[in-house]
Amino acid sequence: MSAPAEWVVLFRHGHSEWNLTDRFTGWTDIPLTGVGLAEAAAAGERLAAAGFAFDEVHGSVLQRTRQTAEALLAAMGTPGVPFFTTWRLNERHYGALQGMNKREIFATWGEEASRRWWRGYYEPPPPLDPDDPRHPRFDPRYASLPPEDLPASESLRDCQRRTLPYWNEVLLPRLRAGRRLLVISHGNTLRGLVMHLDGLSPEAMEKVEIPSGVPLVYRFAGDLSVTGREWLEVPAAGTA
- The H or E element containing residue 71 is helix 63-76
How far is CA 80 from its chain centroid?
Answer: 21
- pLDDT, average across residues 204-231: 95
Domain boundaries, the chain: 7-93+154-231
Q: How far apart are CA 178 and CA 53, in angstroms?
A: 12
Rank 8-22, 76-90, 110-124 by mean pLDDT and report only the highest. 76-90
The pLDDT assigned to 234 comes to 78
Tell me: pLDDT of 208 over 50. yes
Residue 18 pLDDT class (50, 70, 90 cuts) = confident
| Stated pTM of the model | 0.95
The pLDDT assigned to 118 comes to 84
- pLDDT, average across residues 212-220: 97
Residue 58 pLDDT class (50, 70, 90 cuts) = very high
Residue 182 has phi, psi (to 5 degrees) of: -115, 125
Q: Is 91 a catalytic residue?
A: yes
The pLDDT assigned to 21 comes to 82
What crossing angle do the helices spanning 187-198 and 156-166 adopt, rounded to 10°? 70
Mean pLDDT of the chain: 94
Residue 237 pLDDT class (50, 70, 90 cuts) = low
Q: Is 233 a catalytic residue?
A: no
- pLDDT, average across residues 69-90: 98
Answer yes or no: are the C-beta atoms of 114 and 102 closer than 8 Å: yes
Q: Which of 13, 15, 58, 135 is catalytic?
A: 13
Q: What homologous superfamily does CATH list for 7-93+154-231? A: Phosphoglycerate mutase-like (3.40.50.1240)
Residue 26 pLDDT class (50, 70, 90 cuts) = very high
CB atoms under 10 Å from CB of 115, counted, come to 14
The pLDDT assigned to 236 comes to 63
Q: Which of 15, 91, 93, 154 is catalytic?
A: 91
Give per-residue pLDDT as tens, 144-199.
999 999 999 999 999 999 999 999 999 999 999 999 999 999 999 999 999 999 99
Nearest residue to 26 (alpha-carbon basis) of 140, 162, 187, 138:
187
- The H or E element containing residue 229 is strand 226-231
Q: How far apart are CA 103 and CA 232, in angstroms?
A: 34
Share of the chain above pLDDT 90, in %: 88
Q: Rounded to a whole number, what is the largest CA-CA distance in the chain?
A: 58
